[in-house]
Amino acid sequence: MSKELIRLEKVSKSFDGELILDDLDLTIHENEFVTLLGPSGCGKTTTLRIIGGFEKPDKGRVYFDGMDITALAPNKRPLNTVFQKYALFTHMDVAENIAFGLKIKNKPQDYIEDKINYALKLVNLDGYEHRMPGSLSGGQQQRVAIARAIVNEPKVLLLDEPLGALDLKLRQDMQYELIRLKNELGITFIYVTHDQEEALTMSDHIVVMNQGYIQQEGSPEDIYNEPENAFVADFIGDSNIIRATMVKDELVNILGTDFICVDKGFGENIPVDVVIRPEDVELVPRGKGIISGKVSNVIFKGVHYEMDVQTSGYEWLVHSTRLFDVGSEIDIYVDPFNIQVMNRPESEDEEAMVLDV
C-alpha cells in the first residue's frame, strides 16, 4: 500500500439546513485513481470541493501529507481541478489557456513554452497551440482543460464529472486517456461520477456514497463481486436482489427453495438479502437446476442476451450468450460461490433499493 496522502476526518457539511455529509472519514493514498461514485445529491461533489478548498466543512479536518489544510485557500493547495464545464478562456488560444496558471506564478517564458509543449504531447494535441477553444470538439476542449491542470505539476488532480458532456464513444476513449495520463504522470487522481461503468473501468479504488455516507469502498472487483449492502449491489451494475432466509451456515432459502452457498456466521433462520448477478444465473433444462421458471422476455444486447425469467413470486434478470426463446420452460441453477448473502438493510435509503418479493 502506498503512503497516505489525503485524509478527511469526521467531516460534516450542510447547505440551507440540509445535511450533505455526516461525519465522513476518508483516506486516499498516493498515486491512486480514486473514484467517488454515487447518485445525485449523495455528497460526492461536496467531498471533492472540500478537498479542493472550494468549500469549508462545518466540522472535521482535512489533512494533506500529514498537514492540516482545512483552512488553506484553494490556490495554496498542491492540487488542480478539472470541471465538467471546462471553463476555458474563449478569447485565448490553446497555448494561452494552458499557460494561464504558470504566468500567474511568474514562471519564465522558456519554462512556460517547454511546459506547453510537454502538456500538448501528453494529451495528444501536439500542433494545436494556436487553435481557439471554439474551434475544438468537446473531447479536445477536455484535453486542453486537463493540460492546463497538469502543467502546474499538482500532486493531486481533482476531476468533477469531466466526461459528462461528451458522447458515449468519446467518453469511452477519454476514460482510457485518463488511465494513461495517471500512469504516465504518477500523480493521484480523485474522480467524481455517477457512472458505474466509468468507475469500474478507471479506478484503483472506488468509494460508493449515498445520502452523505460512504456505503462501501474497495477495489472495483470487490465492489462488484462482494457488495456489502443492497444499495451498493443495485447501484453497481444489474443485480437480482431477493429477500431470503439464512437457514444455517452455507444454506440459504430463496423463494422457498434451499440453495447451497458459501456464507457463514449469519446464524440460523435469520432474514437476509441475497445478491445474484445476472451473468451468474445459469439456465438449464428442466430437472437439472434448483428452481423452475419460464422465459418471459428476451433482448439482444450485442455481447449477450438479456432475458427475464418468471419463477414463482419473482422475475429473474439473466445475461447469457445462449439464447432461450420467450416461453421456454427451464430451470435456474446458481453456483454456491455466486450467491452473495448480506445482512438485511436497516436504513430507509438501503431498504428502498431492495426488491420486495
The fraction of the chain above a pLDDT of 90, given in percent, is 60
- HEC sequence for 172-209: HHHHHHHHHHHHHHCCEEEEEECCHHHHHHHCCEEEEE
Residues with Cβ < 8 Å from 57, sequence gap 6 or more?
11, 12, 13, 21, 50, 70
Q: Answer whether residue 317 is part of any domain.
A: yes
CA neighbor of 7 nearest in space, from 75, 45, 60, 79: 60
Residue 77, classed as helix, strand or coil, is coil
pLDDT for the residue numbered 349: 47
pLDDT digits (tens, 9 = 90+) for 304-326: 999 999 998 899 999 999 999 99
- Model confidence at 20: pLDDT above 80: yes
pLDDT digits (tens, 9 = 90+) for 83-107: 766 678 889 999 999 998 888 888 8
Whether residues 25 and 125 fall in one domain: yes
pLDDT for the residue numbered 273: 93
pLDDT for the residue numbered 270: 95
Terminal Cα-to-Cα distance of the chain (whole angstroms): 42
**Backbone φ, ψ for residue 321 (5° rounding):** -80, -10
Whether residues 177 and 279 fall in one domain: no
d(CA 229, CA 50): 27
The grid cell for 166 is: 461528451
d(CA 98, CA 88): 9
Whether residues 50 and 188 fall in one domain: yes
For residue 166, name the pLDDT band (cuts at 50, 70, 90).
Answer: confident
For residue 1, name the pLDDT band (cuts at 50, 70, 90).
Answer: low
The grid cell for 30 is: 498516493
Can you give the length of the chain in residues?
Answer: 357
Whether residues 249 and 159 fall in one domain: no
The domain boundary residue, chosen from 170, 191, 225: 225
For residue 352, name the pLDDT band (cuts at 50, 70, 90).
Answer: very low
- Model confidence at 194: pLDDT above 60: yes
* Tally of domains in the chain: 2
CA neighbor of 343 nearest in space, from 332, 354, 335: 354
Q: Answer whether residue 234 is part of any domain.
A: no
Does residue 255 contact residue 311 with C-beta atoms inside 8 Å? yes
Alpha-carbon distances, residue 2 vs 5, 73, 77, 210 (angstroms): 9, 27, 21, 27
Whether residues 181 and 87 fall in one domain: yes
Give the lowest-confidence range in 74-78, 217-221, 283-287. 74-78
Whether residues 76 and 205 fall in one domain: yes
pLDDT for the residue numbered 287: 93
pLDDT for the residue numbered 355: 39
The residue with cell 484503483 is 204
For residue 184, name the pLDDT band (cuts at 50, 70, 90).
Answer: confident
Q: Answer whether residue 353 is part of any domain.
A: no
CA neighbor of 284 nearest in space, from 275, 293, 276, 271: 293
Highest mean pLDDT among 27-36, 160-169, 347-356: 27-36
Whether residues 203 and 284 fall in one domain: no
Whether residues 172 and 104 fall in one domain: yes
d(CA 260, CA 277): 16
Give the lowest-confidence range in 138-147, 214-223, 232-241, 278-287. 138-147
pLDDT digits (tens, 9 = 90+) for 242-299: 999 999 999 999 999 999 999 999 999 999 999 999 999 999 999 999 999 999 999 9
CA neighbor of 332 nearest in space, from 277, 291, 278, 285: 291
Q: Answer whether residue 231 is part of any domain.
A: no
CA 325 to chain centre: 35
For residue 138, name the pLDDT band (cuts at 50, 70, 90).
Answer: confident
The domain boundary residue, chosen from 203, 225, 247: 225
Compute the C-alpha angle 304/310/264, nearest 5°: 85
For residue 140, name the pLDDT band (cuts at 50, 70, 90).
Answer: confident
Q: Which residue(s) pair with 245 in the sheet? A: 253, 271
Q: Answer whether residue 233 is part of any domain.
A: no
Whether residues 245 and 206 fall in one domain: no
pLDDT for the residue numbered 165: 66
d(CA 290, CA 276): 14
Q: Answer whether residue 176 is part of any domain.
A: yes
- Model confidence at 236: pLDDT above 70: yes
- Where residue 276 sits, what CATH number does that domain have? 2.40.50.140
pTM for the predicted model, two decimal places: 0.82
Q: What is the dihedral of CA 165, 319, 224, 199, to 10 degrees?
A: -10
Q: Answer whether residue 188 is part of any domain.
A: yes
Does residue 22 contact residue 12 with C-beta atoms inside 8 Å? yes
pLDDT for the residue numbered 141: 86
The domain boundary residue, chosen from 175, 201, 225: 225
- Model confidence at 39: pLDDT above 70: yes
Structural domain containing residue 81? 4-225
* CB-count exposure of residue 325 (10 Å: 0-12, 13-18, 19+): exposed
Q: What is the mean pLDDT of the chain?
A: 89
pLDDT for the residue numbered 356: 37
CA 286 to chain centre: 39
Q: Which residue(s) pair with 208 in the sheet? A: 37, 216
Compute the C-alpha angle 247/249/250, nearest 5°: 95
Whether residues 181 and 122 fall in one domain: yes
pLDDT for the residue numbered 84: 64
Q: Answer whether residue 357 is part of any domain.
A: no
- Where residue 70 sits, what CATH number does that domain have? 3.40.50.300
Whether residues 11 and 143 fall in one domain: yes
- Angle between helix axes 94-104 and 109-122 (nearest 10 degrees) is 130
Whether residues 260 and 332 fall in one domain: yes
